Amino acid sequence: MRFFAALFAALAIMMTTAAAQEAPAADTQIAQPAPQGNLEELFRLLEDDATRAELLQLLRQRAGSGEAGAPGANDAEAQAGRAEGVIDPTIARQVAEYTRGIAEGLSNSVSSIVDVVGDVGELFTSTAEADLGRLGSTMTNLLILGGTLFASFLVLRLVAARIQHAIAGRMAGASWINRSGGVLGAALVDLAAVILAWAAGYFVALNFLPGPFGRMQINQTLLLNAFLVVETIKVVLRAIFEPRDPQLRFLPMSDTTAAYWYFWVGRLISLVGYTFMFVAPIIAEQLTPGAAQAVRVLVMTTSVLIGILIILQNKTQVREALSARSRAGREDALSRSLAMIGAYWHLIAMFYLIALLVVWLTNPEEALPFMLRATVQSIIAIAVGAFVITFISRFINAGLRLPDDVKERLPLLETRLQAFVPRVMQIVRTIVLIAVIIAIAQAWALLDFMGWVATEAGQRATGALISAAFIILAGFVAYLAMSSWVEYRLNPNFGSVPTAREKTLLMLFRNAFTIALAVMVGMLALAQIGVNIAPLLAGAGVLGLAIGFGAQKFVQDIITGIFIQFENIMNEGDVVAVAGLTGVVERLTIRSVSIRSLDGTVHLIPFSSVDSVSNMMKGFSYHVAEMGVAYREDIGEVKAAMQEAYDILMETDHRFHILEPLDIQGVTSFGDSAVMVRARIKTRPGMQWGTGRAYNEILKQVFDRHGIEIPFPHMTLYMGEDKQGRSPPLNLRRTTTIEEQPLEGPDAPPSEYDSDSIAEPVNEAREMEGRSSG
C-alpha cells in the first residue's frame, strides 16, 4: 500500500510540475491581443461553411505534403479539427504526446539541476575574486544597522510581552468573542513593536551611518524590508500558537507543542525570508548572480530537509490528532476524511516539499509562483473551512437556549430546535468540507469549478440546488411556525383554556398539515432539481388505487375515524370504553385511538375494530350510590342518613364538582339479604369517581353512627339430627401441645381434648366460612 501511495505521489509531482510549467505559458499566449481587423476577418471566414471546408482541406494537404513542418502546424490543425467538432480517435497518439511532454519536462529538470550544481561551484570561485574592501565596508554598515535594529526590537518585544501578558490575564475564563478581541489586541501590540523597530532602523540608517545625510544604501533597505516582512509573518505565527500566553490560544494544544511548532516554523521562515530577501541580493551584488543562486539552493535544500525531519518526528502525533474524532466513535464525513488524511499526511507533506524544491530548481520563474499561489489559496481555504467548522461544532456542543418567557409560552420549541438544528449544522459542515476540497482542487488547476459555474449548465445546476435548499428551509420554517402555534394554543397558561375537542382537532390538524407539507416540499424540491413530478403524481394515483384494494382494513380505519371525528364522540383526555377496553384517551389519530387503562397499559385500537364507543365524560357524569341495608332497617332513616352524608360531603372541596342536589331514588330492589336503596350525585365530567369515593367513605361512617346494618353473607353450621329430631351435642376438645403432652405409657392420663373428634369439622367450617366471606 505504501508503494502505491509513493508511486501515486511521484506521478502527482511530475504532473504538477508539467502543469505548472505549461499554465503560465498558455496564459501568456492567450493574453497577447490580436489585431481587431484580423479577428473580424477570421470570424467572417469561419462562419462561412464553404470557406471553412476549403481551409481544412488546405491544412490537411499541407500536412500530408510535408509543407507544414514548421513548429505549431500540428497545433493549428488540431485547433481546426476541434473547431470543426472532430476529435482525434487515436488514443495512442494522445498518450504519446502526453508522455513526450513528461519526458521533455524531466529532461529540462535534469538540465536545470546540473546548472544549479555549477552555480554552487561558482560560489567558491567568485568569493576569491571579490573586492574584499568594498565587501568589508558594506558588511560593517550592515552589522551596525542590524545590531541597532534587533536591539531596539528586543527592547520593544519585552515591553510588548508585558502588555500581552496583562491582556492574557484578563482573558482567563472569558468567552470566545472576548478572547478573539484579546488575541487581536495582543497581535496589534506585537505588530506595533515590529513597526517601531523597523522605523528606528530607518532612522539610524538615514542619520547615523556613513554616507550622505538623509541617504541610505540599497543593501540597508533590503535588510529593513526583509526584517519587516519576516517579523510580520512571525507576528501572525505568534498570534496562532501563542507560545507564552495559553489564555489567548485557540488551537487545542499544550504549551510544549505550541512552543515546538512556533520555534521550527519561525526558524524556517527566518532562514528562507532573510536569505531570499537580504543575503542573496547582497551576494549577487557583491559577488555574482550564480553565487547568489547557489546560496538560495543550499538554503532551500536545508529547509526542505528540516521540514522532512519535522514531519517524521510528528508523524504519529499528527495522525492521532487527526483521527481523534474517528476513534471517539464519530462516523460523519469530516471524521472519516480527517482519519484518511491522518494515515497518509506525512507522505503528502514530504512529497509536497520535494516537489516544491524540484519545481523551484527547474522553473522558478513560472512554475514556482503557480505552486506558491496554489499553496496560499489552499491554506486560506483550509483555514476558513476550519474556522467555520469549529464555529459550527461549538454551536452544536453549546446547544440552543431560548429566553425564559419564550420557553414558558412554547415549552417544546427549544427541544424541537435542539433536535433539528444540530442535524442541519452537520449538513452545513459537510457542505463546507466539500467546498474546501473544491477550492483546493480549483487552486491546483485540477478542475475548473468556477468556469463550470459560469456556464449555462453550471448556473442552472447551482440555481436548482440553491432553490431546492431554500424550499426545504421554508418548509421547515412553516412546520416550526405551525407547531409553535398549536403548542401555544394548547398551553393553558396563556389565552383561553383549550377544550378537549380543541385539543383533538389541533392535534389532527398538526398531523395532517405535517404530511401535506412534507409531500408538497418534496415535490417542489424535486421539481427544482429537474425531476419531472408528473409521472410521480400519476404513479401516486395508481399506487393509491392499489393500496385501496389491497389495504381495505386501512381504508376502513380512516373512514371510520373520519366519521368518529365528525360525530365528536371522544376526544383526548376522555375516559371511554372501546372494543371491550376502558381507559383514558391519550392519542387520537385519523385511523386509531390509544387508550391507557387503569393499570397503566396502553392499548392501540384501530377504528375498524370499534363497534361502539362509551364516553364517561360527555357533558356531565353521575355517581350512583346503591346501598344494601338489612330488612329490619327503616327506609326513611336510611334516606335521612344518605342525605346527611351528602350534606357532610358538600362541606368539603368536592362541592365545587357537584352540579345538583342529591337525587335519592329510593328502594330499587329486594335482594336475598338486603334492601337496595339508590341515590345519584351529578358532577362535572370526570369528577364522579373522586366524588363517589369520598361520599362512600362518609356514608359508611354515618351508617355506623346510626346503627344501620349493611348485611353481608353469614354461614350456619348444621351438624344433623336423629330420628327423634334431636341434634347430637358438639363436644369440643382441646389438643395439647408438645410441651403439655405428658410422658407416654400406660399410666399417662388421658388427653382433655381429642383432636380427631373436632379437627376435621372445624377446619371444614373455617374453609366454608372463608369462601362465603370472600
Residue 655 has pLDDT above 80, yes or no: yes
pLDDT at 481: 80
Give 471-527 pLDDT, tens digit per residue.
888 888 888 788 777 777 777 666 566 666 677 777 778 778 888 888 888 888 888
Q: Which residue has the higher pLDDT, 371 or 495?
A: 371
pLDDT at 77: 43
Give 720-772 pLDDT, tens digit per residue.
777 777 776 666 665 555 555 555 554 545 444 444 444 444 444 444 444 44
3-state secondary structure of 252: coil
* Strand order across the beta sheet in which 675-683 lies: 621-629, 675-683, 663-670
Q: Distance between CA 40 and CA 76 in Å, rounded?
A: 18
660 contacts: CB under 8 Å, gap ≥ 6 = 682
State the cell numbers at 771.
Answer: 369462601
Residue 34: which pLDDT band, with cuts at 50, 70 and 90? very low
Give 277-308 pLDDT, tens digit per residue.
888 888 888 777 777 888 888 888 899 999 99
pLDDT at 731: 64
Q: Distance between CA 681 and CA 675 in Å, rounded?
A: 20
Residue 68: which pLDDT band, with cuts at 50, 70 and 90? very low
State the cell numbers at 665.
Answer: 331514588
- Find the radius of gyration of the CA atoms of the chain: 49
Residue 230: which pLDDT band, with cuts at 50, 70 and 90? very high
State the cell numbers at 610.
Answer: 370499534
Q: Distance between CA 292 and CA 523 in Å, rounded?
A: 68
Range in 226-240, 388-402, 441-455 the model is least confident about: 388-402
Residue 597 has pLDDT above 50, yes or no: yes
Distances (CA, A) of 770 to 200, 578, 762: 113, 36, 12
Judge whether 296 and 278 are in contact, CB under 8 Å: no
Q: Which residue has the higher pLDDT, 592 or 90?
A: 592
Mean pLDDT value across the chain: 75
Distances (CA, A) of 417 to 396, 411, 519: 11, 11, 22
* Helix then strand then coil, % of the chain, to nearest 5: 70, 5, 25
Q: Distance between CA 619 and CA 11 in Å, rounded?
A: 85
pLDDT at 59: 73
Question: What percent of the chain clears pLDDT 90, i.e. is strictly above it?
Answer: 12
Give 612-651 pLDDT, tens digit per residue.
888 888 888 899 999 999 988 899 999 999 999 999 999 9
Q: Distance between CA 280 and CA 743 in Å, rounded?
A: 129
What is the average per-residue pLDDT within 663-685? 90
Q: Which residue has the higher pLDDT, 294 or 334?
A: 294
Residue 108 has pLDDT above 70, yes or no: no
Residue 663 has pLDDT above 60, yes or no: yes
Judge whether 606 and 581 are in contact, CB under 8 Å: no
50 contacts: CB under 8 Å, gap ≥ 6 = none
pLDDT at 94: 58
State the cell numbers at 632.
Answer: 329490619
What is the average per-residue pLDDT within 687-707? 91
Range in 51-55, 607-611, 632-636 the model is least confident about: 51-55
pLDDT at 118: 56
Most confidently predicted of 19-23, 391-395, 457-461 = 457-461
What is the average per-residue pLDDT within 311-337? 81
Residue 398: which pLDDT band, with cuts at 50, 70 and 90? low
What is the average per-residue pLDDT within 575-591? 86
pLDDT at 702: 92
Residue 85 has pLDDT above 60, yes or no: no
pLDDT at 276: 87
Give 119-167 pLDDT, tens digit per residue.
555 555 554 454 556 667 777 878 888 888 889 889 998 998 888 888 8
pLDDT at 111: 60
pLDDT at 645: 92
Instruction: Look at the chain and count its residues.
Output: 774
Distances (CA, A) of 98 to 8, 74, 104, 243, 356: 17, 15, 10, 49, 22
Judge whether 555 and 543 are in contact, CB under 8 Å: no
Residue 341: which pLDDT band, with cuts at 50, 70 and 90? confident
